[in-house]
Amino acid sequence: MSSSTFRGLNPTMLEIELRRVLRNKRTAIFTLIMPVVLFEVFGSSQGTSDKVGDGNVTAYILISMAVYGAMLAATAAGASVSLERAAGWSRQLRLTPLAPAAYITAKVLSALVISATSVAVVYLVGTTSKAQMPTSTWFQTALLAWVCSMVFAAFGLFMGYLLPSENVMQALGPGLALMSFAGGLFIPLSQYNDVFRAIAKVTPVYGVGELARYPLVHDGRLAGAIVNVVTWTLVFGIGAAMRFRRDTARV
Amino acid sequence: MATTLTDTAIELSGVTKHYGEVHAVDGIDLTVRRGEILAFLGPNGAGKTTTIDMVLGLSVPTAGTVRVLGSKPEEAVANGLVSAVMQSGGLLKDLTVRETVRLTASFFPRPRPVEEVLARAGLADIGDRLVGKCSGGQQQRLRFAMALVPDPELIILDEPTTGMDVEGRREFWAAIREDAARGRTIVFATHYLDEADAYADRIVLVRRGRVVADGTSAEIKAMATGRQVRATLPGARVPDLQAIPGVESAEVRGDTILLQGRDSDMIARHLLTQTEAFDLEVTSQNLEEAFLALTGDGS
């Protein structure tokens, strides 16, 4: 890698990127408010004080909803390349010294910040709820939900390069909800039959959810979850990189 | 401004660009000297934008070489020596005018101050406005402001006033003209003849990917303007008509004669006093027609 690989990367980029996210009401609702609302709906229903692992069902649901918010946030941050391509902004950037890899890096950094904000908001609301788990588990699960959501930053980038739409999140929002059901984020896998459970384990949301909840439940499916997260990160990352190379090639 | 060792802003030699069977640019040789204001004039599809893309390093020629201020195009762009105002797009609607310039400035190692750039592009009063709320003319001046950020030696404008109203065009060109007075090289593509005429020192006319004329505005006009005198004159013969003073070309269609020449008064006086011609009609070939004559498919 030469010194010019990340040429042009700077804090102003990140600052303005974050301002844009906050300015966009739809993104703010999707990534900051919706996970909280879902947690309030599912997390306060009957039987949530039942014990799960080191904590209770409310804590289990809290982690799942934080994962969901982090996923949405990271996907939205990555998928914003779609809008920027449609607006001709990517082309405009080629008339500046900004290196293409620096642009992608800024997108990943902004995904990290927005996803961290989303997790923080859900967990803050969680502290006022009936959620119970050891203090260290609060931090471990939050950190895992945040870090693992980068699978979806890669997913968002890939989709952003793949789909030409200006409103790519309108398609990806429902898609992520479906993937969350498929991956056992909204409904525990124990409620599924054997066939659906087997399918769930190869879908991209499964690994993130399992990993983030592991410090709470310790249920021994760690290796499968790690393989799942790494594999999907590679699939989406390589897909995004291929589309990105095609997009920035001089023809 | 950064100094370079060359007096040549752009050098195209034998440049072609083919997309399959389509020869968008079909062999252009062109040298643009530093400090020139050059209009790249031609109808839609003449190859103007394709040529500009190659000068900016956005695409590579099929054959030939492009040098910009002595460097490869992409190096000139990365060093802030050349910037461009594109025809459309390239703006994010959810940023303010000032944020757009700030963001652009953040990519360059030695940008001009944001407020100075806004003032020069006539945007000082609307820095906090969202780009999506700006008029077409204001958006175009924002593109110009972004192009000013690196304080480049050369600015390229691709059909910068397309779709602007008269007032927008006037304000836009006022900003450009003020800037050009500082000695920057400016190349603009246009299909508006009056813009080329009013703002360029030199006009390069392109048609079907080739240069068909190259000179000052006056030289280009002299190449193609003129008037046509039409009259009825039974039995006229072309050699006799061509002998009439002032006639450059003559045509006979039945009883009708068509005479081309720059001094139509002299031709008309001759026809009315020295011949039996009647039903005389003088029509002027305006600049638009001259342009069409040089760039149209018939030439």
Q: Which residues in chain A (30-89) have CB-CB distances under 8 A to chain B?
A: 84, 87-89
In this prediction, residue A89 carries a pLDDT of 92
ipTM over 0.90: no
Q: What is the pLDDT of residues B74-132, one digit of tens each?
A: 999 999 999 999 888 899 999 999 999 999 999 999 999 999 999 999 999 999 999 99
Q: Per the CB < 8 Å rule, is A13 touching B83? A: no
**For residues B245 and B266, is the Cβ–Cβ distance under 8 A?**
yes
Q: Per the CB < 8 Å rule, is A87 touching B89? A: yes
Q: Is the pLDDT of residue B23 over 70?
A: yes
The CA angle A30-A153-A117, to the nearest 5 degrees, is 50
- Chain B residues whose beta carbon lies within 8 Å of the beta carbon of residue A23: 94
Indicate the pLDDT class of residue A248, thresholds 50, 70 and 90: confident
Closest of B125, B117, B123 to residue B137, by C-alpha: B123
Q: Per the CB < 8 Å rule, is B77 touching A97? A: yes
For chain A, the domain total comes to: 1
Closest Cβ–Cβ partner in A23, A84, A98 for B107: A98
In this prediction, residue B194 carries a pLDDT of 82
Q: Give B112's DSSP letter.
A: P
Indicate the pLDDT class of residue A2, thresholds 50, 70 and 90: very low
Q: What is the mean pLDDT of residues A187-215?
A: 91
Chain B residues whose C-beta is within 8 A of a chain A C-beta are 56-60, 74, 77-80, 83-84, 86, 88-95, 99, 102-109, 146
Gap between the Cα atoms of A207 and B244, Å rounded = 92
According to DSSP, the residues that pair with B64 across neighbouring strands are none
Q: Which of B91, B96, B106 to substitute to test the interface with A, most A CBs within 10 Å?
A: B106
Domain at B226-295, CATH homologous superfamily: YebC, transcriptional regulation domain (3.30.70.980)
Cα distances from A60 to residues A41, A52, A188, in angstroms, run 14, 7, 10
Reported residue count of chain B is 299
**For residues B142 and B97, is the Cβ–Cβ distance under 8 A?**
yes
Q: What is the pLDDT of residues A16-75, one digit of tens each?
A: 998 988 888 888 888 899 999 999 988 877 667 788 989 999 999 999 999 999 999 999
A26 to chain B, any CB pair closer than 8 A? The answer is no
Indicate whether A3 belongs to any domain. no
A92 to chain B, any CB pair closer than 8 A? The answer is yes
Indicate whether A105 belongs to any domain. yes
Indicate whether A1 belongs to any domain. no
Q: Per the CB < 8 Å rule, is B91 touching A23? A: no
The CA angle B109-B110-B115, to the nearest 5 degrees, is 125
CATH code for the domain defined by B8-222: 3.40.50.300
A98 to chain B, any CB pair closer than 8 A? The answer is yes
- Chain B residues whose beta carbon lies within 8 Å of the beta carbon of residue A10: 106-107
A5 to chain B, any CB pair closer than 8 A? The answer is no
Q: Where in chain B is the domain with CATH 3.30.70.980?
A: 226-295
Tokens 């703010």 correspond to: A28
Q: What is the pLDDT of residues B150-161, one digit of tens each?
A: 999 999 999 888
Q: Is the pLDDT of residue B4 over 90?
A: no
Closest of A93, A89, A20 to residue B96, by C-alpha: A20
Indicate whether A2 belongs to any domain. no
Indicate the pLDDT class of residue B290, thresholds 50, 70 and 90: low
- Chain B residues whose beta carbon lies within 8 Å of the beta carbon of residue A14: none
Tokens 């947690």 correspond to: A39
Q: What is the mean pLDDT of residues A97-107?
A: 91
Angle between helix A11-23 and helix A100-127 axes, rounded to 10 deg:
50
- Each as own residue / partner, the long-range contacts of residues A245-250 (CB below 8 Å, 24 or more positions apart, any chain) are A247/A85, A247/A90, A247/A161, A248/A90, A248/A94, A248/A100, A250/B57, A250/B58, A250/B59, A250/B60, A250/B74
For a pLDDT cut of 90, what percent of chain A falls above it? 62
Indicate whether A186 belongs to any domain. yes
Q: Is the pLDDT of residue B178 over 90?
A: no
Q: Where in chain B is the domain with CATH 3.40.50.300?
A: 8-222
Closest of B155, B153, B158 to residue B47, by C-alpha: B158
Q: Please provide residue B252's backbone torsions phi and psi, each rounded to the nearest 5 degrees.
A: -120, 125
- Chain A residues whose beta carbon lies within 8 Å of the beta carbon of residue B92: 20, 84, 87, 89
Domain encompassing residue A23 = 11-248
- Strand order, beta sheet including B210-215: B82-85, B154-158, B185-190, B37-41, B202-207, B210-215
Q: What is the mean pLDDT of residues A225-242?
A: 94
Distance (Å) from the alpha carbon of B167 to chain A's nearest alpha carbon: 26
According to DSSP, the residues that pair with B186 across neighbouring strands are B37, B155
Gap between the Cα atoms of A61 and A65, Å rounded = 6
Distance (Å) from the alpha carbon of B174 to chain A's nearest alpha carbon: 24
Q: What is the DSSP string of chain A?
A: --TTTTTT--HHHHHHHHHHHHH-HHHHIIIIIHHHHHHHHHHTSTTTTSEETTEEHHHHHHHHHHHHHHHHHHHHHHHHHHHHHHTTHHHHHTTSS--HHHHHHHHHHHHHHHHHHHHHHHHHHHHTSS----HHHHHHHHHHHHHHTHHHHHHHHHHHHH---TTHHHHHHHHHHHHHHHTTSSS-GGGS-HHHHHHHTTSHHHHHHHHHHHHHH--S-HHHHHHHHHHHHHHHHHHHHHHHHHHH---
